[in-house]
Chains A and B, each alone.
Chain A
Amino acid sequence: MSLFYRQPRKILPSRVFRNPRPSFGGLHLFSTDSMRDRMKGLQAILPSAVEFSQNQYELERHGRGESFHPTKKPDAVVCPTCAEDIVSIVKYCSEHGIPIVPFGVGTSVEGHVCCLKGGVSLDMKNFQGIEIPDMESDGLPDPIATVGAGVTRSTLNGALRHTGLQFVVDPGADATIGGMVATGASGTTAVRYGTMRENILALECVLADGTIVNTGTKALKNSAGYDLVGLLCGSEGTLGVITKVTVKLHAVPENLMAAVCVFETVEDAAKAVATLKLCEIPLLRCELLDEASVVAFNAYKKEGPNREEKPTLFFEFQAPSPDSLEEQVKMTQSICDDYGGAGFVYCSDEEERKALWLARHSLYYASINLRPGATGAILTDACVPLSKFAEVIRDTTNEIKEQGIVAPCFGHAGDGNFHCILPTAEGDSAEYTSKLHEVSENIVERTLRAGGTCTGEHGIGYGKTKYLEQQYGPGAVHMMKMLKQSIDPNNVMNPGKVIPIQDGII
């Protein structure tokens, strides 16, 4: 307060002042201390068990995910050991205007963990608690597990390996459960089991003001109060730090069958999928590879016959009995037939299933292999109603051909969600790079025109904040801003992500 009165009118835009009252007309005033001093102050109040690192390599690692966004380092990496540690940390940071970016394992693909304004990368690696169902007890346990936010999905499934249950959400990366909630992640099993959103029951998080929030229920339905679990899912660290999550589990399938079917056009494949879904044939997985993807695979594989270079659907089925499994597959085959599907092959043996799905599993590396020298790729993410799926993919692949860039497309066909893999190499010309970005932006425009969403599973990060108003209109964005400003008035929780806040500055 005294600082404010001592310096009346001269408020220079590059300096910020401390204001103990939050939300002063949208302008947030903080201490004139440099970030270095504020970090020293933070380090001083940390409990002894909490690691604090300013090692350059650690800072770099915590400043990037797996996207094309440039590395933006934090000023320090802090590793809390419990929710109470986080309470002290967020309270201090909120008061001193230090941004906080929660960090799982850094596999996000939209720049989620980039510390746009420096600050603290809050590494959740110590949150490793796992509670799984006790299968030995006489009663039948609920198929749920409660895990610390830092537990990766493969660690959880490893702990579950003797229970007959599994955690089914399977995005490409071995992400942490906390991160998967924060980004609303999803995988190839979404067509049957839904995304992360449909697989969480409860969670614990810490808000910017230090409040510990426990919300949700282990019961399967809930009508009590606002859906805070839903609010936090996909909030990308902008509302609170998720510390613990209760997830749903599903039975490890006893009977599995994989199938593949080739189509003349993407439209035919998409119509087949739309019909399968309308008829509610249960699909465990339903993935589409476009022609370019199959070409990539044929070039990349080391052995085995070439696949026909046409749009291909990859299916997986599961059922309680071999007979019901056979039935599902036969019905699927007949529907694929109706749309000119050919070469329908299916098998149940594990080795054969793996071989059948090889083109889909090795897609990322096969795509990168298409461009010698490529080390990474831009991954686009668009999701449209199924009725528009074929048209959007077709228009996209046409543009890719016109632009002459390398970009195989594949999709979670059952969800109307598709991705293009745009391999990037260090030596790429500015022209080529700008083409990649142009195609990527056009995909979003096309998707929004088709009534879809600019991101089906990867999240907004900071590259897609500009699309929110276009997608939802001003009302929804206004409501999101209201929520953000009331929950995090000092805008320290992963600033710059999700919500395009114009006035909040640090």
Chain B
Amino acid sequence: MKVLVGVKRVVDYAVKVRVQNKSVDLKNVKMSLNPFCEIAVEEAVRLKESKKAEEVVAVSIGPKQCTETLRTALAMGCDRAVHVSTDLRTDYMELQPYAISKIFEKIIEKEGSDLVLLGKQGIDSDCGQTGPMLAGFLGWPQVTFAANLEATDAGIQVERETDAGTETINIPSLPAVVTCDLRLNEPRYATLPNIMKAKKKKVDTIAADSLGVDLDAHNEVLEVFEPPPRKEGIMVQDVDELLDKLKNEAGVLG
């Protein structure tokens, strides 16, 4: 099977995000590979290592620095990469899941992929929409929040994690779209020799606006704000005062 992996360049998970000019401030902020996409890449590479997949292609949409993100995916073991270049913000402020799914649809048509692995959500937009929307546009079966994936004869069997428990879904034959959740695997650290080798792997660049896809945002973001700062705790004199505050100020007691 030919596997395609979505790889998103997002604000690094360790960064303390600030709001500037009504949007998240991205200036000089450290960006990295979206952790859920990293899990998707790891799963794809494992499929290749177990000879279930013959080729893994990584795809990223964004500015020229996406090549760094793609380089990480290549160092983890992807064979080659496609960079769809655009300067539109990909954190929902400009480019939104609808357009992103349409872009992926075009790339997948060209690549002839059998299995598309995406992270369950981007940690910037937290939408979780690209996977399901893409499956809808392609008319393919989908499994989201995959916690375990096994290739069967012609298809895949996936364990899907929800708040209520785990369900096992069998897709008898490919193609299919799967979005990856935390418990699916623990991504490998790329080693130096692989990072060096990755510099020689092929990255094709396609301009986003050359794909004939409507890139406009159709949802308008009204406001972006930081959560209110946590108030300092106060000391209370005795249990009566505590009960009074819990009841009348915090409203957590009937």
Contacts and interface: CB of A to CB of B under 8 A. Distances in A.
Q: Tell me the dominant secondary structure on chain A's binding face.
A: loop
B85 to A, nearest CB: 16
Interface stretch (B129-137, B139-147, B154-162, B184-192): B184-192
Interface in B188-214: 189-195
A254 B188 CA distance: 11
B14 A164 contact: no
B60 interface: no
A162 B33 contact: yes
B191 A136 contact: no
B67 A253 contact: no
A446 to B, nearest CB: 42
B191 A254 contact: yes
A112 B191 CA distance: 37
A135 B189 contact: no
Interface string A142-174: 000000000000010011011111100000000
A155 B14 CA distance: 9
B72 interface: yes
A165 B72 contact: no
Contacts of B30: 159
Contacts of A159: 12, 14, 30
Interface in A225-266: 251-254
A253 B191 contact: yes
B71 interface: yes
B40 to A, nearest CB: 15
Contacts of B190: 162, 164, 252
B68 interface: yes
Given A136-B67, A136-B68, A136-B71, A164 B194 contact: yes
Interface in B11-40: 12, 14, 30, 32-33
A163 B14 contact: no
A131 to B, nearest CB: 11
A254 B192 CA distance: 8
Contacts of B195: 135, 163-164
A252 B189 contact: yes
B100 interface: no
Nearest to A254: B191
B14 A251 contact: no
B75 interface: yes
Contact of B192 (A136, A158, A251): A251
Given A252-B191, A252-B192, A164 B68 contact: no
B26 to A, nearest CB: 18
Given A136-B67, A253-B191, A254-B191, A162 B72 contact: yes
A158 B30 CA distance: 12
Interface in A81-114: none
A162 B35 CA distance: 12
A164 B67 contact: no
Contacts of B68: 136
A253 B190 CA distance: 10
A158 B189 CA distance: 10
A136 B64 CA distance: 12
Contacts of B12: 159
Given A136-B67, A164-B75, A158 B191 contact: no
A47 B188 CA distance: 44
Given A158-B14, A159-B14, A162-B32, A254 B193 contact: yes
B166 to A, nearest CB: 22
Contacts of B194: 164, 254
Contacts of A254: 191-194
A37 B129 CA distance: 60
Nearest to A255: B191
B68 to A, nearest CB: 5
B116 to A, nearest CB: 23
Contacts of A164: 75, 189-195
A135 B32 CA distance: 13
A256 to B, nearest CB: 10
Interface in A310-334: none
* Highest count of chain A CB atoms <10 Å: which of B30, B67, B75, B192: B192
Given A136-B67, A155-B14, A158-B14, A251 B191 contact: yes
* Highest count of chain B CB atoms <10 Å: which of A158, A161, A164, A253: A164
A163 B33 CA distance: 12
Interface in B124-181: none
B7 to A, nearest CB: 12
Contacts of A158: 14
Contacts of B71: 135-136
A246 B193 CA distance: 24
Contacts of A165: 192
A163 B193 CA distance: 10
A155 B75 CA distance: 22
Contacts of A163: 195
A110 to B, nearest CB: 31
Contacts of A161: 189
Given A159-B12, A166-B189, A253-B191, 10 more contacts: A135-B71, A136-B68, A136-B71, A162-B33, A162-B72, A163-B195, A251-B192, A252-B189, A252-B192, A254-B192
Instruction: Identify the 6 closest CB pairs spanning chains A and B, nearest first.
Output: A164-B192, A251-B192, A164-B195, A254-B191, A162-B72, A136-B68
5 contacts: A136-B71, A162-B32, A164-B189, A251-B192, A254-B194
Interface of A: 135-136, 155, 158-159, 161-166, 251-254
